[in-house]
Amino acid sequence: MRDTIEMAKDIWVGDVQAGKYDNETVELKGWIKRARGSNKIRFVVLRDSTGEIQCVGKRDALGDDEFDSLKNSIIETSVILTGVVNVDDRASGGHELTITSVEIVGPVNPEKPFPITESAMSAADGGETEFLLDNRHLYLRTSRMTTMLKIRSTVFGAIHSYFRNLDFLEYQAPNFVAGAVEGGSTLFEVPYFGKKAYLTQSWQLYAEAAMPALERLYTIAPSFRAEKSRTRRHLTEFWHAEMEIAWASNAEVMEHGEGLVRHIAKTLLEERSTELESLGRNLDDIRRFADTPFPRISYDEAVRRLQEKGVEIEWGEDLDYSKEKILTQDFDVPHFLTNYPKIAKPFYHRVNPEDDKYVLCHDLLAPEGYGEIIGGGERTWSEHEILQRLEEEGGPTDAYQFYIDTRSYGGVPHGGFGLGVDRVVSWLSGADHIREVIPFPRDSRRVTP
């Protein structure tokens, strides 16, 4: 509760710029973003997590000590500036602070200035150079990254609110596991007291174990995949929003995938329009994602469309990014691909009882060339079918004994999906690369900083 906690800081730059303190004296705590001026007057742009404001300090008013401390403060010095809020149409944001006192909190050594300079940023041209990635811990406080992190926070909040409003229960699975979910080639092996364990690729198998207890469950958690090729949409550690629902068909699970993505778009419009526009995102596009029903086509139809466009593809292949990208050109909202061939998907996908060449599954592809953001479907739920599917795959089954067990005691139809949160943030913010939207991106070449 805000008003029962005595807060060390209770005035925010964003509120000042919103006109809540016009002509009042306020104490602003933050960091110096830019500074210029002469030996008599300084113009300092102060930023905090909510915005920025120009502050003006004069030697006459401040006295030599305080004026000089302000004058010597370089970019990223943390300060407490007290002053009077002036309404000024010429000032960015419509307000300016006339400084009446200066307190330096965390100085910056002028011999070691803040390395993220305007020129380093413009060299990166909205993308991310190795230099900016090496200095990620400092890059986080630049306005582009701050904006991404705010959008990201809103997306996480929207996922929680979507599921909680529908009475889903949040449920946690272990991150150390013994078996693969998505195939052995992207498993991260970790030494585990003389044995081998793996970092989890997905929450799903452990969620299915709790499905008979909770019936409607979800999570947002990291998943780990040893993706060797570096692409604009793969991380080795990504945030995975997953859901599992008892008794549900593929069609019902898809309704939730669509509902969730539209709820995320709608929440962003409500909470982050300014941020999206500052990134150059057209809000009409986001509105369309929030309001328009998502079309559905079958895998076979997708293959037909690709072949018509002259793409070389054989029936039975999984669709990689290059192919998804071409498919997305036909749509201006997210669209589902359903009913993949069994040979393209792992054992847990339920075979279509009407045609056993196919499984009852779906991927949701984001438009504008972004491609897959959700993978989901019905699960193989009867004991004999799961045994058969595991046998067809031919791998070791020890690690899945618990999973088989869950089918032996009252198996029921069920399904779920996994949504790549970073991919959704990347698409909705219009980023060029998934790295741009996660604070410390991990890929095959980088675990630092």
| Interaction site with Mg ion (CB under 5 A) | 375
- Candidate residues 375, 377, 411, 415; the one interacting with ligand ATP per rule CB under 6 A: 375
Sheet bearing 361-366, strands edge to edge = 169-170, 216-224, 237-246, 414-420, 371-378, 361-366, 335-338, 296-298
Is residue 227 part of the contact set for ligand ATP (CB under 6 A)? yes
Q: What is the dihedral of CA 438, 443, 447, 449, to 10 degrees?
A: -40
Q: Which does 374 bind (CB under 5 to 8 A by kind): Mg ion, ligand ATP, none?
A: ligand ATP
Q: Report the amino acid identity of residue 446.
A: R
CA–CA separation, 26 vs 183, rounded Å? 58
The span of 126-134, 149-157, 235-243, 399-407 binding ligand ATP (CB under 6 A) equals: 235-243
**What tokens were used for 239?**
């945030």
| 180-199 footprint of ligand ATP as x/- string (CB under 6 A) | --x-----------------
Is residue 205 part of the contact set for ligand ATP (CB under 6 A)? no
- Candidate residues 81, 97, 180, 235; the one interacting with ligand ATP per rule CB under 6 A: 235
Is residue 256 part of the contact set for ligand ATP (CB under 6 A)? no
Smallest gap from residue 286 Cβ to ligand ATP (A): 19
Q: How far is CA 253 from CA 260, 363, 367, 425, in A?
A: 11, 11, 20, 21
Number of residues that bind ligand ATP (CB under 6 A): 16
- Candidate residues 264, 374, 431, 437; the one interacting with ligand ATP per rule CB under 6 A: 374
Q: Which does 66 bind (CB under 5 to 8 A by kind): ligand ATP, Mg ion, none?
A: none
The span of 16-24, 108-116, 227-235, 268-276 binding ligand ATP (CB under 6 A) equals: 227-235
- Candidate residues 29, 136, 272, 423; the one interacting with ligand ATP per rule CB under 6 A: 423
> Which CB, 146 or 352, lies closer to Mg ion?
352
- Candidate residues 243, 260, 373, 431; the one interacting with ligand ATP per rule CB under 6 A: 373
Q: Which does 403 bind (CB under 5 to 8 A by kind): Mg ion, ligand ATP, none?
A: none
The answer to whether 231 and 222 have CB atoms below 8 angstroms apart is: no
31 phi, psi to nearest 5 deg: -125, 145
Of 5, 87, 83, the C-alpha closest to 42 is 83
The answer to whether 257 and 362 have CB atoms below 8 angstroms apart is: yes
> Which CB, 180 or 351, lies closer to ligand ATP?
180
The span of 82-90, 94-102, 233-241, 252-260 binding ligand ATP (CB under 6 A) equals: 233-241
Q: How far is CA 98 from CA 67, 88, 103, 108, in A?
A: 13, 11, 15, 23
> Which CB, 73 or 426, lies closer to ligand ATP?
426
The answer to whether 373 and 420 have CB atoms below 8 angstroms apart is: yes
Is residue 27 part of the contact set for ligand ATP (CB under 6 A)? no
> Which CB, 13 or 438, lies closer to ligand ATP?
438
149 phi, psi to nearest 5 deg: -70, -30
Smallest gap from residue 75 Cβ to Mg ion (A): 44
The answer to whether 251 and 223 have CB atoms below 8 angstroms apart is: no
Is residue 225 part of the contact set for ligand ATP (CB under 6 A)? yes
**What tokens were used for 304?**
């037909």
> Which CB, 132 or 419, lies closer to ligand ATP?
419
> Which CB, 108 or 319, lies closer to ligand ATP?
319
Place of tokens 């040893």: 226
The span of 40-48, 76-84, 391-399, 419-427 binding ligand ATP (CB under 6 A) equals: 419-427
The span of 74-82, 142-150, 366-374, 397-405 binding ligand ATP (CB under 6 A) equals: 366-374
- Candidate residues 12, 67, 168, 238; the one interacting with ligand ATP per rule CB under 6 A: 238
Is residue 420 part of the contact set for ligand ATP (CB under 6 A)? yes
Is residue 372 part of the contact set for ligand ATP (CB under 6 A)? yes
Please report, as ranges, the residues that interact with ligand ATP according to CB under 6 A.
Answer: 182, 225, 227, 234-235, 238, 240, 372-375, 418-420, 422-423
